[in-house]
Amino acid sequence: MKVIVCKDYQEVSEKSAEIVAQVMKDKPNAVLGLATGSTPEGMYAKLVEMNRKGEIDFSDITTVNLDEYFPISPDNDQSYRYFMNKNLFDRVNIDKSRTNVPNGAANDGEAEAARYEAFVRSLGGADIQVLGIGRNGHIAFNEPDVELVPVTHVTGLTPDTIDANARFFASADEVPTHALTMGMGTILSAKKIIILANGKGKHNAVMKMLKGTVTTMCPASFLNLHDDVTLVVDEECYNG
Ligand code: F6R
């Protein structure tokens, strides 16, 4: 795994945006695999800026997001669809019909997971997949466990995650109990992967991943099976 150590979050955002921008310049109809969460927000802001300056063009780009709560309405301001529209899609010249997030409003979650998996595979996987990492080493909603599901699937949220998210919803009943998520196999089908991390809180997870071995108890460690992964990390996270 290649490692780029940056002085701070700002530099993590700039470096990762540059890597994504290069893929877009090399292939104007590239498929971008995208993540939500606080880590890539700065990268999205940078990509918006580059688009406004005319440095990058989204008009032929297709996107596939990693995950979405289930069930959730795409209009809910906690949905990952809403996050993506707000942080990127509504701010660049992308064709919205080519932006893909698992459908949190689908009637049948399993059918939606199978549809999404087939769709990502039909694209040949993402040209670049952007990832964040959880403090426990999770990737998308693939949480540490004795077994992992390789393909897109419905997964239950842990009571901890439901508790942690309750504050963002009008009432506890509204917190989704499940999520639709790409599996590690779907993620590894990307041609190139960048994983972003900043802050001390992610240090242990990042070190576990950088050890180079593979364990289901640290889903991020599966990235060691791929030969084009770059970690973009700030000094605080890297040095711990
Ligand atoms: C987001 C996702 C999550 C986050 C991870 C880190 O689509 O799948 O796995 O990447 O939870 O979140 P932040 O960036 O908020 O620390």
Listed by start position, the domains of the chain span: 2-239
Asked if 203 is an active-site residue, the reply is no
Q: How far is the CA of 35 from the centre of ligand 1 (A)?
A: 7
Q: How far is the CA of 97 from the centre of ligand 1 (A)?
A: 24
Asked if 143 is an active-site residue, the reply is yes
Q: How many beta carbons lie within 10 A of that of residue 44, not counting itself?
A: 25
Q: What ligand 1 atom has the least distance to the C-alpha of 39?
A: 14
Q: What ligand 1 atom has the least distance to the C-alpha of 181?
A: 8
Q: For position 166, what pLDDT does the model report? A: 84
Asked if 235 is an active-site residue, the reply is no
Q: For position 72, what pLDDT does the model report? A: 95
Q: How far is the CA of 45 from the centre of ligand 1 (A)?
A: 17
Give the residue, by CA position, lying nearest to ligand 1 atom 9: 140
Strand residues in 9-135 grouped as ranges (E)? 31-34, 62-65, 67-70, 99-100, 128-131
The Cα–Cα gap between 7 and 184 comes to: 29
Catalytic residue among 14, 18, 57, 136: 136
Q: Which of the 8 DSSP states describes residue 216?
A: T
- The CA-atom distances, in angstroms, between 177 and each of 142, 186, 193 are 15, 22, 29
Give the type of residue at 151.
V
The CATH class of the 2-239 domain is: alpha beta
Q: For position 159, what pLDDT does the model report? A: 83
Give the residue, by CA position, lying nearest to ligand 1 atom 13: 37
Q: Could you tell me if 128 and 32 are in contact, meaning their C-beta atoms sit under 8 angstroms apart?
A: yes
Contacting residues for 87 by C-beta, under 8 A, at least 6 apart: 41, 44, 45
Asked if 107 is an active-site residue, the reply is no
Rounded to the nearest 10 degrees, what angle do helices 80-87 and 41-52 cross at?
40
Catalytic residue among 112, 117, 127, 143: 143
**pTM for the predicted model, two decimal places:** 0.97
Contacting residues for 8 by C-beta, under 8 A, at least 6 apart: 198, 234, 235, 236
Give, for ligand 1, the residue of 12, 32, 39, 63 to mutate: max count of ligand atoms closer than 8 Å to Cβ: 39
Q: What ligand 1 atom has the least distance to the C-alpha of 65?
A: 7
Q: For position 165, what pLDDT does the model report? A: 80
Full pLDDT tens readout for the chain, 240 residues: 999 999 999 999 999 999 999 999 999 999 999 999 999 999 999 999 999 999 999 999 999 999 999 999 999 999 999 999 999 999 999 999 999 999 999 999 999 999 999 999 999 999 999 999 999 999 999 999 999 999 999 999 888 778 878 888 887 778 899 999 999 999 999 999 999 999 999 999 999 999 999 999 999 999 999 999 999 999 999 999
Q: How far is the CA of 131 from the centre of ligand 1 (A)?
A: 7
Q: For position 172, what pLDDT does the model report? A: 75
Give, for ligand 1, the residue of 70, 83, 101, 133 to mutate: max count of ligand atoms closer than 8 Å to Cβ: 133
Give the residue, by CA position, lying nearest to ligand 1 atom 1: 36
